[in-house]
């Protein structure tokens, strides 16, 4: 008789491991104090029992079991130490949805087993497709649950409880012998790859190439940018699995206290050295150099922070790892202080198309897609923010119109449940780092002011804008190292979701922001930072309508816009919303009308200047009434309403004569002459233009003398007095040329060319 022990088959091993997994689940079920979770653990255990007893398609069923294990791991992570009354209602509902999905699949497995038993035929292909479909459904629901859990708990998404990790490892071991199953990864249980990694194809392809060549790399970027997702996609890439097989290691560096001893101990366990508490890298070198392996150090900012515990020693260990020729090292980090041998790759935000696909994967609504695109753009296509937005829309069952309304009303506060807990936690992690603490007590206030300005701040002007921050440039360097800010075209900038979290909630209480406010009223700032100034004025005008200073600044800002950067402004509704009795409203309305004139919108110009005239008449300032009448007459000229314009010019002239304002009288005559010539009243136009010329010559106002010559040239040209017209046009050109007055030169040359062309036509 052969007494040798029989070697277990792959099927026997799988059943044995499934039995252990079921036992572990039963322990979890008994330990849980949350009834919905208890039911979920029980349902998962029943489903695993069915999988154990239905081994006809063992490989496919075990993959389904892995999905159950993932669900239970997520449950254990989120419920550890919590009771039902401590959980958000949405989390309870999500647990119930998970349980329902597993129960439905359990019924389908039973039905499939009955069919195969009755027919005595195993329908391998159709069974495989069915099981794959069930697994996909569990994966989809698990993704929604994990997002829900992140929104409603403070637990990190990667915080894995040992009890349920055992389930995952049990299920992995149960797959031994299945050739289609990926090789296991030693070390910590690596999260599965993301179901989708939109817009990262080129980056992942580049990283895979570096890893295959054993080139050490560092993926750098701010929180929520997708570094870990990219690294996991590479870790599970088919070419990487083929190259490294089981020799792929994954370490979460934020799961142990930053110290050299802790890091070396974790590294020893991960590479399988089995050396307890190594004092340095020496005893691990034989294992590290024995074979090719890939090591991923995830969230490495927690150990590479130059101000952290054992910082230099840990850095030296990581640096040596990057120099070992048979090791492919991949670091994900928010901090840029990585070993010099690492190829640094900055992980960018998503493209519009990738952000849209990421959003639609969670919440797919085909109505008015341009609305979603607009919101995604305002989020700077930040991956985590996009996912949160989609999840909130999904949970609330909003259509796109409702989402747009909520966004318009509350902007990023629409993400208050998730944004404040998930994204805020990611940002605050950087702010809690030792390096940020070493930047000094003003660092947080400084960062808040940077976050306030949508353009960021010009780095060349830091000393002037922040005179109370003595070491502003070094602090900015620290922000950039921590990936809180970045440099772009000379500006220190920040992603929109970070700005929303960090900006001062009440700008009036930020003493540093109030100190910088006055710096933005100077014209040399307007051309490069007009959006910042506009945002500053718009914010403070909303908070303090009665402030005289902010409205004087507003009028000055629009004057600078008119002369240096002509464009529309968001300040219009604020200005028109001022009470008519507000002392600054006439001046602000006047300057706003000039902007509309510069943009060619003469109807809006006339509407605003007409109301301004009413306000000036009420205040009884005749000088400003005359100025406004002239502007209104000019607007009517542009609208070809010559009779109105002539009447307003004459009224302005009467006021200026009464006030004895010679310069303004000359401008009135010039405006009147322009209206009259356009209305073909050439004789009176010539008289008005001649009056203007005399007054401007007395005052030596060269610019206006130039315009008067242009006007007289137009009049004589219309009268057919060619020689006089040429004489005045040439005089205008001779005055304008030294000053490089482009508009005057252009129009005068244009008029001269027209004069010669018409004469040539007559001769021809």
- pLDDT of 347 > 90? The answer is yes
**Residue 483, burial from CB neighbour count under 10 angstroms (0-12, 13-18, 19+):** buried
What tens digit of pLDDT does each residue of 594-609 get? 999 999 999 999 999 9
pLDDT in tens, 474-499: 999 999 999 999 998 889 999 988 88
Q: Band of the pLDDT at 509, cuts 50, 70, 90?
A: confident
pLDDT for 394? 80
pLDDT in tens, 47-77: 666 665 554 444 445 555 555 655 665 565 5
Confidence of residue 249 (pLDDT cuts 50, 70, 90): very high
Q: For residue range 307-327, what is the model confidence (pLDDT) as tens digits?
A: 988 999 999 999 999 999 999
Q: Is the pLDDT of residue 661 over 80?
A: yes
CB 729 within 8 A of CB 748: yes
pTM (2 d.p.): 0.65
> In angstroms, rounded to a whole number, what is the distance separating the alpha carbons of residues 170 and 165?
8
Whether 704 has a pLDDT exceeding 60, the answer reads yes
Q: What percent of the chain has pLDDT over 90?
A: 39
- Cβ atoms within 10 Å of 635's Cβ, excluding its own: 25
pLDDT at 120: 35
pLDDT score at 761 = 46
pLDDT digits (tens, 9 = 90+) for 631-653: 999 999 999 999 999 999 999 99
| Mean pLDDT of the 542-549 span | 81
> Among 230-239, 242-251, 748-757, which stretch is predicted with the lowest mean pLDDT?
748-757
User: Using an 8 Å Cβ cutoff, are 169 and 33 in contact?
Assistant: no
How far is residue 687's CA from residue 679's CA, in Å, rounded to a whole number? 14
Which sequence spans correspond to the domains of the chain? 10-173, 186-346, 352-425, 436-505, 701-764
Phi-psi region of 569 (alpha: psi -120 to 50; beta: other; left: phi over 0): beta
Indicate the class that CATH gives domain 186-346.
alpha beta
- Rounded average pLDDT over 417-438: 74
Q: What angle do CA 611, 615, 617 make, to 5 degrees?
A: 115
How far is 270 from 255, CA to CA, in rounded Å? 14
Token pair listed for 346: 């900055």
Alpha helices in 472-547 (DSSP H): 472-481, 496-502, 511-517, 523-543
For range 662-667, the mean pLDDT: 91
So what's the pLDDT on residue 525? 60
Residues 102-137: tens digit of each pLDDT = 666 656 655 555 554 444 333 444 455 555 555 565
């Amino acid at each position: 008789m052969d007494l040798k022990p029989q070697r277990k088959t792959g099927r026997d091993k799988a059943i044995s491991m499934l039995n252990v997994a079921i036992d572990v689940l039963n322990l979890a079920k008994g330990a849980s104090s949350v009834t919905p979770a208890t039911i979920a653990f029980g349902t998962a255990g029943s489903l695993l029992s069915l999988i154990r007893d239905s081994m006809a398609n063992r490989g496919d069923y075990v993959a389904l079991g892995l999905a159950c294990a993932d669900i239970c791991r997520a449950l254990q992570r989120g419920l550890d130490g919590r009771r039902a009354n401590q959980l958000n209602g949405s989390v309870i509902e999500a647990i119930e949805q998970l349980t329902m999905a597993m129960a439905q699949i359990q019924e389908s497995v039973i039905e499939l087993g009955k069919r195969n038993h009755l027919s005595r035929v195993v329908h391998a292909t159709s069974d495989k497709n069915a099981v794959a479909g069930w697994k996909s459904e569990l994966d989809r629901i698990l993704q929604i649950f994990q997002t829900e859990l992140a929104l409603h708990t403070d637990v990190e998404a990667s915080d894995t409880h040992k009890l349920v990790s055992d389930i995952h490892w049990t299920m992995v071991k149960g797959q031994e012998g299945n050739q289609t199953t990926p090789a296991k990864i030693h070390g910590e249980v690596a999260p599965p790859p993301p179901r989708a990694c939109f817009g990262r194809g080129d980056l992942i392809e580049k990283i895979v190439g570096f890893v295959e060549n054993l080139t050490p790399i560092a993926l750098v970027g701010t929180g929520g940018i997708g570094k870990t997702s990219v690294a996991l996609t590479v870790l599970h890439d088919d070419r990487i699995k083929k190259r490294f097989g089981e020799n792929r290691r994954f370490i979460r560096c934020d799961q142990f206290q930053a110290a050299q001893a802790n890091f070396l101990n974790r590294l020893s366990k991960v590479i399988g050295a089995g050396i307890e508490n190594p004092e340095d890298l020496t005893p691990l070198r034989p294992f590290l150099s024995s074979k090719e392996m890939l090591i991923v150090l995830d969230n490495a900012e927690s150990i590479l922070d130059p101000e952290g515990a054992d910082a230099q020693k840990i850095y030296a260990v990581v640096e040596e790892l990057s120099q070992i020729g048979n090791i492919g090292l991949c670091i994900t980090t928010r901090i840029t202080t990585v070993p010099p041998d690492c190829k640094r790759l900055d992980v960018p935000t998503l493209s519009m198309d990738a952000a849209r696909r990421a959003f639609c994967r969670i919440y797919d609504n085909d109505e008015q897609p341009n609305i979603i695109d607009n919101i995604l753009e305002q989020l700077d296509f930040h991956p985590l923010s996009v996912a949160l937005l989609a999840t909130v829309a999904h949970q609330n069952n909003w259509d796109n119109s409702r989402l747009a309304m909520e966004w318009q009303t509350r902007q990023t506060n629409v993400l208050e449940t998730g944004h404040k807990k998930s994204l805020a936690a990611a940002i605050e992690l950087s702010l809690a780092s030792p390096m940020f603490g070493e930047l000094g007590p003003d660092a947080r206030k400084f960062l808040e002011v940077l976050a306030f300005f949508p353009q960021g701040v010009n780095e060349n002007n830091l000393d002037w804008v922040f005179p109370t921050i003595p070491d502003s440039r070094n602090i900015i360097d620290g922000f950039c190292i921590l990936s809180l800010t970045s440099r772009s075209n000379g500006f220190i900038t920040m992603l929109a979701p970070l700005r929303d979290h960090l900006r001062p909630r009440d700008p009036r209480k930020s003493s540093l922001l109030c100190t910088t406010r006055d710096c933005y009223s100077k014209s040399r700032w307007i051309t490069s930072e007009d959006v910042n100034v506009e945002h500053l004025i718009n914010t403070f005008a909303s908070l303090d309508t009665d402030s005289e200073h902010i409205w004087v600044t507003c009028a000055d800002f629009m004057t600078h816009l008119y002369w240096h950067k002509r464009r529309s402004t968001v300040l219009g509704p604020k200005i028109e919303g001022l009470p008519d009795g507000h002392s600054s409203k006439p001046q602000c309305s006047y300057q706003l009308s000039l902007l509309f004139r510069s943009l060619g919108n003469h109807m809006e110009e006339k509407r605003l200047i007409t109301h301004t005239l009413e306000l000036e008449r009420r205040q009884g300032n005749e000088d400003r009434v005359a100025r406004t009448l002239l502007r209104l007459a000019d607007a009517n000229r542009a609208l070809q309403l010559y009779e109105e314009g002539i009447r307003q010019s004459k009224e302005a002239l009467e006021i200026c004569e009464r006030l004895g304002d010679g310069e303004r009288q000359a401008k009135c005559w010039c405006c009147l002459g322009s209206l009259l010539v356009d209305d073909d009243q050439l004789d009176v136009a010539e008289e008005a233009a001649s009056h203007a010329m005399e007054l401007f010559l007395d005052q030596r106002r060269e610019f206006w003398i130039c315009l008067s010559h242009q006007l007289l040239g137009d009049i004589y040209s219309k009268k057919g007095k060619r020689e006089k017209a040429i004489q005045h046009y040439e005089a205008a050109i001779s005055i304008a040329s030294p000053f490089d007055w482009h508009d005057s030169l252009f129009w005068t040359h244009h008029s001269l060319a027209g004069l010669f062309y018409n004469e040539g036509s007559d001769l021809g």
